[in-house]
Amino acid sequence: MVRPDWLNKLYPYKSNFLKLKDNLSLHYIDEGQGEPLLMLHGNPTWSFYYRNLVAEFSKFHRVVVPDHIGCGLSDKPQNYDYTLKQHIDNLEKLVTELKLRDFVLVVHDWGGAFGFGLLQRYPDLVKKIVILNTAAYISEFIAFRINMCRIPILAEQVIRRLNGFALTATYMAVAKKMPPEIRKGYLYPYDNYKNRIAIARFVADIPMNPNHRSYQTLKNIELSLSQHKCPTLILWGKKDFCFNDYFLKRWMEIYPHAMVKTFESAGHYVLEDAKEEIIKELKQFL
């Protein structure tokens, strides 16, 4: 895929691709040299979410940011097992192929479940952890608007046909108005019904009861969280309609040793609302 000039100005990074089973291509960026940072996005974003951190930290670090299958510039198969376990399998293959070790893990949204799912399997891989408005444990709470999108027929119409999830997020997930060109960047990979397949499947894969296919996978991840004793930094947007203070409290209970910095005027896309402050905090942490 040839990226348009306007996108290259915002996201001037070389595209790399990893071949997965069924000949699927997983897109990732791999910039800079030095201590590695692995950054994992959520739904409905893509590696574009980390563009400013890549620009800053690739000066002194190796920064790797994948697009999960179905997201960003990765392939978007229509008949695929879009499950938590499968995404962790894909991440494991990427980390193995790139020989990443002793890295700093940075997670946001679904990236939390994927990243900690990887660490459940290989806890010694990580050197430090950075948590941005995410969860990696079973929760009884789910935002009403997200729960509504779990209704299959509604999901097909709202998420896939009307782009109601990704588009709405560019307004609801930020506390400060998102510039039009940045909104355009977030929406670029999700420009038609087929390309929004993973957005809908992510919502459907939120395990809210023990009968859900991903429930036990997430429960096992939750049970493994306390084994991680490495330095941990929590950077949290307080105006998040999705991951609210309930989730922040859970993280603080799991990692009482963590350094915590909250941003009162930042939403779910905390990197958009508090970019400069987060870069400052990350520099000190690293």
- The mean-pLDDT minimum among 88-97, 135-144, 187-196, 244-253 falls in 135-144
Reference 244, options 149, 140, 130; nearest CA is 140
Greatest CA separation for the chain: 47
- C-alpha 153/C-alpha 43 separation (Å) is 19
Q: What is the count of structural domains for the chain?
A: 1
Q: How high is the pLDDT of residue 84?
A: 98
6-29 confidence digits (pLDDT tens): 999 999 999 999 999 999 999 999
Four-point Cα dihedral 107, 65, 270, 277, nearest 10: 100
Residue 136's domain spans which residues?
5-285
Q: Could you tell me the pLDDT band of residue 184, with boundaries at 50, 70 and 90?
A: very high
Position 154 confidence tier, pLDDT thresholds 50, 70, 90: confident
Instruction: List, for residues 39-84, the tens digit of each pLDDT value.
Output: 999 999 999 999 999 999 999 999 999 999 999 999 999 999 999 9
Give the residue among 9, 82, 90, 8 at the shortest CA–CA distance from 43. 82
* Interior angle at CA 172, CA 169 and CA 173, nearest 5: 70
Dihedral of alpha carbons 265, 269, 272, 277, sign: positive
Give the distance from CA 27 to its chain's centroid.
14
SS3 call for 141: coil
pLDDT reported for residue 1: 67
Which residue from 184, 44, 207 is spatially nearest to 111, judged by alpha carbons? 44
50: alpha, beta or left? (left if phi > 0; alpha if psi -120 to 50):
alpha
CATH number at residue 280: 3.40.50.1820
Average pLDDT over the chain, rounded to whole? 95
Q: Is the pLDDT of residue 141 over 80?
A: no
Q: Give 2's pLDDT tier (boundaries 50, 70, 90).
A: confident
**Which tens digit of pLDDT belongs to each residue from 108-136?**
999 999 999 999 999 999 999 999 999 99
pLDDT value of residue 77: 98
Per-residue pLDDT for 210 more than 70?
A: yes
pLDDT digits (tens, 9 = 90+) for 228-251: 999 999 999 999 999 999 999 999
> Residue 232 in contact with residue 259, Cβ under 8 Å?
yes
Contact 85, 121 (CB under 8 A): no
Q: Is residue 212 scored above 80 in pLDDT?
A: yes
> Which parts of 117-263 are beta strand (E)?
126-134, 232-237, 259-263
pLDDT at 214: 95
> What is the tens place of the pLDDT at every residue in 189-209?
999 999 999 999 999 999 989
Query: Is the confidence at residue 144, as pLDDT, over 70?
Result: no
> pTM for this structure?
0.96
